[in-house]
Amino acid sequence: MSGISDVARIAGVSKSTASRALTGSGYVSEQTRRRVAEVAASLGYVPSTSAVSLATGRMQSVAVLVPTVARWFFAQVLGGVQSALLERNLDLTLYEAPPGTQERRRILEDFLPRRRFDGLIAVGLEPAEGELEQLQRIGRPVVSVVGATGPSSLVTVDDVHAARRATEHLIALGHRFIVFLGGDTDDHFAHVDRLRLRGYQEAMADAGLAAHIRHVGSGVSIPEGYAAAVDLLGETRARPTALVAACDEVAIGAIIASRRLAIAVPGDLSVVGIDDHEYAEMFSLTTLRQLPREQGRAAVDLLLRTIGDPARAREELLLQARLVVRSSTAPADPAPAIAVSDTHPPR
Amino acid sequence: MSGISDVARIAGVSKSTASRALTGSGYVSEQTRRRVAEVAASLGYVPSTSAVSLATGRMQSVAVLVPTVARWFFAQVLGGVQSALLERNLDLTLYEAPPGTQERRRILEDFLPRRRFDGLIAVGLEPAEGELEQLQRIGRPVVSVVGATGPSSLVTVDDVHAARRATEHLIALGHRFIVFLGGDTDDHFAHVDRLRLRGYQEAMADAGLAAHIRHVGSGVSIPEGYAAAVDLLGETRARPTALVAACDEVAIGAIIASRRLAIAVPGDLSVVGIDDHEYAEMFSLTTLRQLPREQGRAAVDLLLRTIGDPARAREELLLQARLVVRSSTAPADPAPAIAVSDTHPPR
């Protein structure tokens, strides 16, 4: 049977590095961690239970709280978490429930306090509802992915910046009638969508387009984006020349709606999303790319380091989304521009 | 603090029925179970740990093995399982890995044999790879959802029948040049897609259209269906008048491809799917409706009954998908029909 020495030798690292890589109990570069994990897997090496317990606590399980697995972003984060946990021989306990539901309250009040896990990854917490504070009281390490900034470590894309970049891209193409589409339904306005709306508003104001700021709410799935876009674009007099969508799903819904209404994208309407969803390529969508799978993996790294060293300082991994230009955006038609004074009050 | 007697009284059932409803340890109608669960939740009643353990084993957790959470069907099944487990105060341990991967082998060989769960729900097992037999050896109750028929209880839609109904719908509309699109990529041909292909082949053969049987393989996501449909429909000479898609995602990909190629659906091409995906309505897709969330809930019921009574006989819940006609299917244009003799050998 192979031991940690064999793994270290073949991977070309020290024994202590190999051990850290396999238990997640200290810093190792992602590249090294992968190489060590591959070597360990190829040799059939399994860290002894006691060594793993030392690093990760006695339950050998990490809990994941997520609003839903039925959306691309959350499914990707969950996939990254699962994959990183498998490499470290840890189980994943799933708690899935949308914000504001009875099921979510039960998870927070009945399930999580049982502490049947060594640490918790909380995806998309809603700070307005004090969820992070509730989780802190449970007494297990918590790492947040998107959402609440607080005493826990956090992995997130810079959402304000991403929406700013999306908006600036359209402004640079000459657009002024730019609507922010998505977020803010009757019963829910997710923290992440608030941040993105703010990035749009800031970019518009900075460009002297405060008078044109306009937010049209909708849920953030493709069908909800589609329905909201049909309403918005069907109204020909007030039609914008460009949309910043709260996420790619809303952007794709808007493109499907445009095709239905015979509005050419990007000829009549430019659309930019945020995500780089698996369907983005198929719809030639210009978007701000984030890598949710990597966010899930990074959250596992951060969590295991915190479990290994509870005195460790809080970390914030603020990632920058990158603009990917495809063909859903194009220069604005200069003809219909209407002079707008900066003295108009923002709505 | 409320007790089981309060729950039973307010729900209008006997104490033993209330107990069965909350622990899943015997038969209770779905309606009763829901009512009891609602009353229990409203009263803040939590079954005592020992009572739950008696019914579900000591880990108080159910494991779910699933190929991916990033597809609609699997995410829905998982949501149903999660929701049913929450009602019964049970944790969900997630094992996600696509067939044929190293990660899946590790789950089957290293993780599941640890038996850190009271029972297992296996979604989309591939019988060809002997996965069910491997799971049986672990020594915990297993319920399958779609996929392998074997010694375990099974919850599934009748996939052969669903594809048959889809094909018969098109034949009744006068179509003869009907292609089955999806399944069978270079490296994977899922069991469920094989069953659906068989249903299509049987319906074609029964209608004397064996010579027209044609299967075009592709992965079963929207982008993969899109890419395969672009290839298939771009070839104008051999273009079919109708498609039976392996699932709604492939059907939706084909509709998006048709719009790109200026092929009218249903004018030039009828498309029928299987699923009733959340996007089906948006694309006016005619499809065979199945309810994966309910399949997940039913699997939990079956599993808990088996845990409560290991001698219990195997059950098979074979559900029938229901045809939902929207506007992606229409009568075939009678003009281009070409006589085909039944003596042509099937391909």
Taking residue B49's Cβ as centre, other Cβ atoms within 10 Å add up to 12
CA quadruple B95, B96, B100, B101: dihedral positive or negative?
A: negative
Contacts of B89 in chain A (CB under 8 A): 110-111
Instruction: Say whether pLDDT at B54 is over 60.
Output: no
Instruction: Note whether ipTM > 0.90 here.
Output: no
Instruction: Say whether pLDDT at B231 is over 90.
Output: yes
User: Under DSSP, is residue A2 helix (H, G, I), strand (E, B) or coil?
Assistant: coil
Burial class for A181, CB neighbours closer than 10 Å (0-12, 13-18, 19+): buried
Q: Do A70 and B70 touch (CB under 8 A)?
A: no
Q: Does B259 touch chain A (CB under 8 A)?
A: yes
Between the alpha carbon of residue A330 and those of residues A226, A263, A291, the distances in Å are 21, 14, 25
If you average pLDDT over residues A240-259, what whole number do you get? Answer: 97
- Helix residue ranges per DSSP H, chain B: 4-11, 15-23, 30-43, 49-56, 72-87, 102-106, 131-136, 159-172, 191-206, 222-234, 248-260, 292-308
pLDDT band at B84 (very low <50, low <70, confident <90, very high): very high
Instruction: Say whether pLDDT at B274 is over 80.
Output: yes
B142-147 and B270-275 strand pairing: unpaired
The structure tokens listed for B234 are: 């771009």
Q: What is the pLDDT of residue B26?
A: 59
- CA dihedral in degrees (B109, B111, B113, B115; nearest 10)? -170
Task: Establish how many alpha carbons lie within 13 A of residue A160's alpha carbon, considering only the half-sphere containing its beta carbon.
Answer: 6
Averaged pLDDT score across all residues of chain A: 88
Report CA A291 to chain centroid distance, whole Å: 8
Instruction: Kindly report the pTM of this predicted structure.
Output: 0.82
If you average pLDDT over residues A96-115, what whole number do you get? Answer: 92
pLDDT band at B45 (very low <50, low <70, confident <90, very high): low
- How many angstroms separate the CA atoms of B126 and B131, rounded? 6
- Helix residue ranges per DSSP H, A264-310: 292-308
Q: Which range has the worst mean pLDDT, A99-108, A321-330, B36-45?
A: B36-45
Contacts of B103 in chain A (CB under 8 A): 83, 86
Higher pLDDT, B53 or A79: A79
Q: Do B106 and A82 touch (CB under 8 A)?
A: no
Tens-place pLDDT, residues A134-155: 888 898 999 999 977 788 999 9
* Interfacial A residues in 20-39 facing B (CB < 8 Å): none
Best mutation target among A91, A110, A220, A278 (most B Cβ atoms within 10 Å) is A91
Question: CA nearest A299: which of A191, A146, A140, A133?
Answer: A146
Q: Kindly report the backbone phi and psi dihedral angles of residue B299, in degrees, each rounded to the nearest multiple of 5, phi listed first.
A: -65, -40
In order of their start, the domains of chain B are 4-56 (1.10.260.40), 61-157+291-320 (3.40.50.2300), 159-290 (3.40.50.2300)
- How many angstroms separate the CA atoms of B274 and B287, rounded? 5
If you average pLDDT over residues B53-73, what whole number do you get? Answer: 84
- How many angstroms separate the CA atoms of A38 and B187, rounded? 22
